[in-house]
Structure 1
Amino acid sequence: MVGNALEQEIIELYSDNPSSVYSINQIASKLGKKYPYINKKVTILIKNKIFKKIVVGRSHLCSLNLKNDETIYLLILNEIRKKKKEMERSQRLEQASKYLAKAARAANIPLILKQKNSILFVLDTKEAKNEFEKSMVKQALHGHEASLMTKEEFLQALKEDKTLHEDHTILHGFEKYYEYIREIEDELKIRYSKLTP
């Protein structure tokens, strides 16, 4: 079965930047684990198509296979844990979450993220964005700033601002987030993948 604790740790390395590419040696080093043990686990992840591998000399460079549902499931599991920790730390966010859930249903908002002290609402169209902006109850955000973007604006921001990957908590739309990442995966790899330790 994929998803045991070590496999989750390995996947978590990619949560800040799903387009990252790491060698097995880098993964072992980042986790502080022995290479043979990590090699065995990564081989299982490659076999299960969670990872894609690129062979460079004697090394395997591993990246997430975002076209695989199991990969998305494991990433979402990490994001759910991250959201739970964030909610436990912030009473204001916990209070705002009730409004966010209602707003997401009522306005058909595909994605809501928390970044620093801001709540980012991603809507499909400019019209939906403008309509939601007029109806939003800012007091219900309990002191968090509100930012609104269309899907296209969000995709562009992801390409231009690495912190959107690194410093966010998905509050609503886990699958949608990774669906968006999948759309621009190749561009993100070109911009942000590091092949150095």
Structure 2
Amino acid sequence: MDGAVARLDFGPTAADGGDVINGGEGDDIIHGGAGDDRLNGGATGNDRLYGEQGNDRLDGGGSGSDRLSGGYGNDWIRGGSGGDKLWGDAGADVLRGGGGGDRLSGGPGHDVLLGGPGTDLLSGGSGRDTFVFEPTSQRDTIRDFQDDYDTIRLAEAFGFATPAEALAFAEQRGADVVFTFQGGQELTILDTTAAALSDDLIV
């Protein structure tokens, strides 16, 4: 779809199965409808992808500022290289940001959130969520961490043997905890303490 704006709506009256839809260039609006869908916004454009019902796979794909919403179901959602907004909505979702400054919101359900490269804001929402931070991440902020309920997973590539080793890179800054790692990566967890995080870290 190589136009200014393309709308593709595969709602219940059009297709109740699993759809595979590629937006191409331009600003696309794609609705998956019922079924387990695979939606790709294409290489360029500011796209809006809506998985709706089913266990969907949404890929922003390109350099635009995309909006990706999983809807109902256990969805896999990935942003592109622009500043994207990702919503998991209902279900146990996996959200992964791309290269830009992204905003990830898990919504209800037990979600996994990975900010990726860039300066990202992560909100798990209700449910037992896992926030993953990798060496390729740059500067992430977790906005709604729930003590003794949510989990922070530091990738094995950091080389920490125990949570205590990781906490050596953390400091209290007012009401927040900030990790500054050897590679310059920074992870901020709002409204918590290092002591509260000690049993919520996985390395």
Q: Aligning the two structures, in what range does the TM-score lie when normalised by the shorter sequence?
A: under 0.3
If the length of structure 2 is used for normalisation, what is the TM-score?
0.25
Q: Which has the higher contact order (CA 8 A, sep 6+)?
A: 1
Give the structure-1-normalised TM-score: 0.26
